[in-house]
Amino acid sequence: MAEEQPQITRLHVTISGHVQMVGYRAYAQARAEHHGLTGYARNLITGGVEVVAEGERQDLEAFLADLRRGPRGARVDHVLASWEQPRGEFTDFSIRHY
């Protein structure tokens, strides 16, 4: 019986609420690294945060649950998540600036 290949996918998330100036991007980075994911988090001019991550589906689902909670001091009002084809463009998880 052959081993199954991991199902690598891409998660694109936009988070709104009180998510800037509360360490949300650093929180996302720490949680992504915990789950072994690659990608980035960045603030949006609209006041939200965008997160793009790639990895195994089960790890991304756990990460998405983390993003819905957010760090202490944040208030997550809305999470818009979409699943996409992976592009394999990341080597780590970083914080981007606009």
Q: Pairing mode, if any, of strands 93-96 and 38-43? A: parallel
Instruction: Give 52-95 as a DSSP string.
Output: EEEEEHHHHHHHHHHHHH-STT-EEEEEEEEEE------SSEEE
Catalytic residues: 25, 43
- DSSP element (H, E) containing 56: strand 49-56
Backbone φ and ψ for 59, nearest 5 degrees, come out as -70, -40
Chain length of the chain? 98
